[in-house]
Structure 1
């Protein structure tokens, strides 16, 4: 199965995870016949077992809370396993779709908010103009791509990109991502 070829390392995702997300682009294969999946395999590809467990556990918990059967891949696919093992796991779990997330890009942004001089006539403005300094904030803007693959055809059936500001609180960021993605999966008819 060629799924590993398309899944970027999850460690990069989690290191640059976002605390809040907004959906910037979304696509669904118009020829996918459905029906909405009731069984999802969550797959994280990373060299860090900890990051993989956090990502997969969080998404499985959130999917199950939404009434969908879901399973982590880490319990059956050790790190670095070949794609043949992945195919066996998909069959044994009965997963209809596979959910993966990858970092598309991380951009450093600079936000400059000028602080204006005081008003109250020219003299107040002039003195304030020399004393005021802008507020400068630097942050990472992270763009993630979440993809759902049909287990039978091994084709992408749904994809969404999300954007947010990077954070080091990985568990919370992963929960926020799941809370953004899962309702979209339901409303688009990808999961029941």
Structure 2
């Protein structure tokens, strides 16, 4: 086997876990107020997060996705500081002082880390050399690897700002082997699509 071919096989075995790493979001339960008419015109997005950085990342990405679909939306961190989020009445007062008609609140209900192991495989590949027709068994090694899967359970609620009534609610489970950014993106894409299919947004 040529050296370049050996190198390619070796790199493929090492990099395979990176290429197959992915995230999936499953919506386990949804509810919508059947009396609610029309679509949300101007939404404030709140992420109840453990850090300011995580809150900013989530709200910024969520608002960007809503705007990309032609919806008006604002990050709550433009209205309420991280420290003020613990004061429910202050948060309501500040949001009501804007022209927002709905507020979406996402909060992490639970999270887990699950360690998984993907076993490796060893197989022989018959290769013919020259016209003598002699075959050699070239051993191909697919190395096993251990992966940590992060599972996040999130509750997402949408309220009418004026009446404070619940309009729409969803519970979801997101699985991701990797960083928070990809987990957040996958979750947001799924939730926004569901909001759209339920006729809440464009």
On whether the aligned pair clears a TM of 0.5, the verdict is yes
1:106 deviates by 2.0
Equivalent residues, number? 161
Alpha-carbon deviations, 1:70-118, whole Å to 9, x = none? Answer: 0111112112222233223322322222112222222333445567898
More strand by share: 2
Distance 1:107 1:48, change over 3 A: closer
Q: Tell me the residue number matched to 2:74.
A: 71
Q: Which runs of 5+ in 2 are unaligned?
A: 1-21, 124-143
Root-mean-square deviation (CA), in Å? 2.9
Hey, what's the Cα distance between the residues in 2 that align with 1:71 and 1:147?
A: 16
Alignment of 1:34-183 (within 5 A): 34-81=37-84, 82-112=87-117, 137-160=147-170, 161-170=172-181, 172-183=182-193
CA distance in 1, matches of 2:103, 2:177: 25
Q: Secondary structure at the match of 1:93?
A: coil
- Sort the Cα spacing of 1:76 and 1:112 in 2 relative to 1 into closer, same or farther, 3 A: closer
Determine which structure has greater relative contact order: mean sequence separation of CA pairs < 8 Å that are 6+ residues apart, divided by chain length.
Answer: 1
Tell me the alpha carbon deviations over residues 130-157 of structure 1, each in whole angstroms, 9 at most, x when there is no partner.
Answer: xxxx865443322222222222332332
Question: Does the 8 A contact of 1:42 with 1:56 survive in 2?
Answer: yes
Q: Which structure has the bigger radius of gyration?
A: 2
